[in-house]
């Protein structure tokens, strides 16, 4: 149950902070959530990864659908990717990786302070 709460809280906090602040606040959000919620380091990585990946998937898809896939198609061409869907997958994966590593760091920091 804490794992699911950590995923949802990470996505919610990151969504609020990135609405007001720069994109890299996703890392700070995942770190803070895993620092507050007691999860194992592997769970911290997975919760951070899934929370941020789900958030970015929702944001990317809403933006992509609203402009008829034009921007993602052009960005895919710019990066030499065959189609826009692969660009979206890579974007979501990179966001999830940032969230996962910062969530892992937060869980390990909590573990250090609890010893």
pLDDT tens digit sequence for 21-48: 999 999 999 999 999 999 999 999 999 9
* Residue 98, domain extent: 2-114
Single pTM value for the model? 0.92
Nearest to 59 by CA among 31, 99, 32, 28: 99
The structural domain count of the chain equals 1
- What is residue 115's predicted lDDT score, i.e. its pLDDT? 80
Give the pair of three-digit tokens for residue 18.
């990135």
* pLDDT grade for 14, boundaries at 50, 70 and 90: very high
């Amino acid at each position: 149950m804490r794992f699911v709460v950590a995923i949802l809280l990470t996505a919610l906090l990151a969504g609020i902070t990135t609405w007001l602040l720069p994109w890299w606040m996703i890392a700070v959000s995942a770190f803070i959530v895993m620092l507050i919620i007691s999860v194992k380091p592997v769970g911290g990585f997975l919760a951070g990864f899934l929370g941020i990946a789900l958030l970015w998937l929702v944001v990317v898809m809403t933006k992509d659908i609203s402009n008829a896939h034009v921007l993602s198609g052009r960005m895919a061409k710019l990066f030499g990717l065959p189609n826009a869907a692969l660009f979206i997958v890579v974007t979501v994966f990179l966001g999830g990786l940032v969230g996962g590593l910062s969530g892992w760091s937060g869980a390990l920091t909590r573990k250090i302070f609890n010893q």
